[in-house]
Structure 1
Amino acid sequence: MAESDVDLSLLAQIPALPPPSGVKSNFDNPESREQLAKIVVGLTYGLMLVFLALRIYARIKITRSLGVDDYLSLAAGASITAFTGLSLSLFGEPLGPHQWNVPLSRFNASFMGRTLGSIVLFSLSSVFVKTALLSLYLRVFSPNRTARMMIWIGFTTIVVFYTIAIILNIRFCLPLSMTTPVPDQDEWAKKLKASNCSQPVYNLNAAVGLFGVVSDLYVLIIPVSMVYKLRIPRNKKIGILAIFLTGLVAIASSITSTAFRFHQLKSYDFTWDSIPSYTLRAAELNIGLICNCMPVVFVILKKIFQPRPCSSGKRDATPPARTPSHAYIADLPGDNHTPDMTEYEVPKPPAPTAVVRLKSFTHQSRRQPSRGERSTYTEIESWNQITTEI
């Protein structure tokens, strides 16, 4: 049957998948997973926007300039927004209900195009999120040769892999996205199989998910290994590591998302089982960008939650300490009073600055830190010092 002869009203009466024995298709009010998915996606997306806004605010307020990592984060936010919009447009139309409760007419060119667009945007967003974090590491750890090499290897591998994935997805699914379904379910299944936009794409997306987990672990290892080697106080080292280890949340989300991708390889109920996969993919991107912003946003969070000294607003009635500049000196005629040296108070030395403390610690270490360690420590230490400038 020619596609031009297809009666769309007939497609609206045919289920996209034959229902199980004893089950009747319900096109009017079927059970669906879309509502919970919309809530999860909306919450993680809103939280991502808050952290991204705080990151840009911190950069503009403190450094008064944006770096490459900030621009990549903005690009990630824009692509995640587009991915989220396409995903939400697929929820309920037709994803959410069981596939036998979805009419075949829902699998039209619009659905195929939006599905392909969401797949491409996920890979593009992943590139921006991961390379933004690597760009931040490059600025912080650039004096360290090993870190530089690891960062550029990760950068190149991530860009190349996701570019290949995007090209293959377009190659597999673009022809089908311009195809109209046919009333015969068997014939439509044959067209899906012939287009390679079914099982090959599922396999490719599972591989993309697996690569995402491995690359996330690799990106996390870089700062952890560098900070662990620094000759800095243990409590400070633990605090800095805690900032970077927030990336474990993104890794957990990535692992869960990948598990559902592999589950889809054996699933025949596409519209029902796609909801957890799409939801976790959106959460993975949003949480990834949140963790990306955490090292910068930490400055503001520390400023907000850091306890401040209480002030009563009253002047201290205690007179200022007497120093040689304020001491009584006999200058009246006939005044034989000799100043009592006990009235003098030796001024206290100023509190050591962060630089002095760092120098003192460096000299007390068993070995002198390398130039890379000193530069890295200075960059990381600025995250703590800079809160006084806000």
Structure 2
Amino acid sequence: MASAAEAQAALAQLPQCVEAAAVQGISASGCGLDIACVCGNDEFLALLQNAVLTECPPADQAKTLGFAAQLCSKALPSLKDNKGPEVDAVVITIMVLATIAVSLRLIARRVSPKKYGMDDLLIVFALITTYGMDIMYLATVPTGLGRHMIMLSLPAIESFTKSYFAAQLLFAISITLTKLSLLFFYHRIFPVRKFVIISITTGCIMIAWFISLVFAIIFSCRPVAFFWDKTIKGGSCINENNLAYGITATNIVTDFVVLLLPIPWLLKLQLPMAKKIGIIGIFLLGSFVCVAGIIRIPLLTELKSTDVTWTSVAAGLWILVECNIGIVSACLPVMGPLLKMHFVGKLSSGFSSLRKSNRGSSRLSDEERLPSINLDDEVRKEYPNDHRRAPRVYNGSRKNETWYSVSSEPVGRHDNKNVKVQDVETIPQGQIAVRHDVLWERNSGRYH
């Protein structure tokens, strides 16, 4: 602990522009001349920082901050601590997870009959935007993120604040694109009119939320540059903590709305309970994103601290977790065909001899009746009369199923040997299915 004499000597070395603020801060802190106590007091640091930025010329600004850093780090060695390596490890890990998830999603689309859609395009854009956030966060580590602000130079503080401003905008873009991607995905698998209206309405609300959020972030300070340059005379900002609470609360609400939107329609699917629970479980994995948002709420109080480069690390990391894991959650329901191909394929090879012995039987083996989740097929059977979805061939995973052509042209009657099926999924080896004649009429939508 520094002596009273050292404290008095330190005060004497401060530039005149901050003397009054320093004395006022020491008095308000209740620390007396205990330098270690003073350096750890937020009120003292806030008064000193404000005086440095508004009262001192540039030469004295650098001198004061440098002197304060040297004095305080000597009295409080913990001020030299650095969370930077932890930040790097977390950010790189979640970046890799998001990248793998989107890659598997695109591969799954390629191997399935479904074509790439707007939901896939939006999730790719969401990943690119999230990359921007992640890289920006990593770039602020060398300039001060994870370190105590009193140890930083003014250029480093300004660089951090600019990055924080840009990261808020990227967060708004990323999280909105991810939610819109989910809505477009829901639209593809639930094309019934009522659900389409609900999903479009939800999407419009999301876009309106995004626009209002961007305006609130950009114009939170007047002039805008005052957000990162507090030396501008006459500048002012709204309460940043209240803004953060508002953004987080509305984001959590929209998370729950998008997450729960398809559940009533999923419950209507005519499926065995185990498979129905499995499908709903995949969708509800996205609830982790809601949990991440809720965890951030108590951490927002740290944004009021003057030592924001140190105290905001946890809140910032949870923002990145929310964006990256949100992308992972949005990709999980699309990975069904890929996972089915991989895991069921491996199991099938182990039962090849059993399949061969039963090839002439009308009963399927236990392995061939393994439950699989193909959401498109299940939804199509539940909502068969939708005018925008022509019937397709069932994937053959169960016996006694009816097979249909996906052609939009009339299909005449044939005997079973000559029926030609267009653009159908391959029948897995060893499976048996009953195939019936079909007449598809474009206008009436009736099957015979």
Do the aligned partners of 2:218 and 2:224 also contact (CA within 8 Å) in 1? Answer: no
Do the aligned partners of 2:162 and 2:228 also contact (CA within 8 Å) in 1? Answer: no
Do the aligned partners of 2:143 and 2:156 also contact (CA within 8 Å) in 1? Answer: yes
Residue 296 (str. 1) matches residue 334 (str. 2): yes
Residue 137 (str. 1) matches residue 214 (str. 2): no
Matches within 5 A, 1:186-197: 194-196=235-237
Q: Which residue of 2 aligns with 1:273?
A: 311
Do the aligned partners of 1:69 and 1:135 also contact (CA within 8 Å) in 2? Answer: yes
List runs of 5+ in structure 1 lacking aligned partners: 183-187, 322-346, 355-367
Q: Deviations over 1:12-32 (max 9, x none)?
A: 44349978x976588998212
Q: Which residue of 1 aligns with 2:92?
A: 42
User: Distance between the aligned counterparts of 2:356 and 2:225, measured in 1?
Assistant: 81
Q: Which residue of 2 aligns with 1:175?
A: 223
Do the aligned partners of 2:293 and 2:322 also contact (CA within 8 Å) in 1? Answer: yes
Residue 149 (str. 1) matches residue 149 (str. 2): no
Residue 11 (str. 1) matches residue 49 (str. 2): no
User: Distance between the aligned counterparts of 2:225 and 2:137, measured in 1?
Assistant: 16
User: Distance between the aligned counterparts of 2:74 and 2:95, measured in 1?
Assistant: 37
User: Distance between the aligned counterparts of 2:103 and 2:283, measured in 1?
Assistant: 19
Residue 255 (str. 1) matches residue 294 (str. 2): yes
The one of 247, 266, 273 equivalent to 1:234 is 273
User: Distance between the aligned counterparts of 1:180 and 1:75, measured in 2?
Assistant: 28
Structure 1 residues 387 and 213, CA, compared in 2 at 3 Å: closer, same or farther?
A: farther
| AA of the residue aligned to 1:47 | L
List runs of 5+ in structure 2 lacking aligned partners: 1-16, 18-52, 370-380, 399-424, 429-448
Q: Which residue of 1 aligns with 2:322?
A: 284
Q: Which residue of 2 aligns with 1:61?
A: 111
Residue 76 (str. 1) matches residue 122 (str. 2): no
Q: Please identify runs of 4+ aligned residues in structure 1 that moved more than 6 A.
A: 16-19, 25-29, 312-318, 372-376, 384-389
Residue 203 (str. 1) matches residue 242 (str. 2): yes
Q: Structure 2 length as normaliser, TM-score?
A: 0.63
| AA of the residue aligned to 1:284 | E
Do the aligned partners of 1:133 and 1:292 also contact (CA within 8 Å) in 2? Answer: yes
User: Distance between the aligned counterparts of 2:66 and 2:157, measured in 1?
Assistant: 8
User: Distance between the aligned counterparts of 1:267 and 1:317, measured in 2?
Assistant: 71
Q: Structure 1 length as normaliser, TM-score?
A: 0.71
Moved more, 47-56 or 96-105: 96-105
Structure number with higher relative contact order (C-alpha < 8 Å, ≥ 6 residues apart)? 1
Do the aligned partners of 1:25 and 1:101 also contact (CA within 8 Å) in 2? Answer: no
Do the aligned partners of 2:191 and 2:386 also contact (CA within 8 Å) in 1? Answer: no
User: Distance between the aligned counterparts of 1:30 and 1:61, measured in 2?
Assistant: 53
Q: Which residue of 2 aligns with 1:90?
A: 140
| AA of the residue aligned to 1:269 | D
Matches within 5 A, 1:92-131: 92-108=142-158, 110-131=159-180
Q: Which residue of 2 aligns with 1:361?
A: none
What is the aligned-residue identity percentage?
22
Structure 1 residues 230 and 195, CA, compared in 2 at 3 Å: closer, same or farther?
A: same
Do the aligned partners of 2:107 and 2:338 also contact (CA within 8 Å) in 1? Answer: no
Matches within 5 A, 1:332-347: none
Do the aligned partners of 2:173 and 2:210 also contact (CA within 8 Å) in 1? Answer: yes
Do the aligned partners of 1:15 and 1:25 also contact (CA within 8 Å) in 2? Answer: no
Structure 1 residues 59 and 24, CA, compared in 2 at 3 Å: closer, same or farther?
A: same
Aligned residues: 332
Structure 1 residues 181 and 204, CA, compared in 2 at 3 Å: closer, same or farther?
A: closer
Question: Secondary structure of 1:32's match?
Answer: coil
Q: Deviations over 1:62-97 (max 9, x none)?
A: 237310000000110111111111121222422211
| AA of the residue aligned to 1:90 | T
| AA of the residue aligned to 1:293 | C
User: Distance between the aligned counterparts of 2:326 and 2:90, measured in 1?
Assistant: 15
Moved more, 6-15 or 46-55: 6-15
Do the aligned partners of 1:26 and 1:101 also contact (CA within 8 Å) in 2? Answer: no
Do the aligned partners of 2:145 and 2:160 also contact (CA within 8 Å) in 1? Answer: no
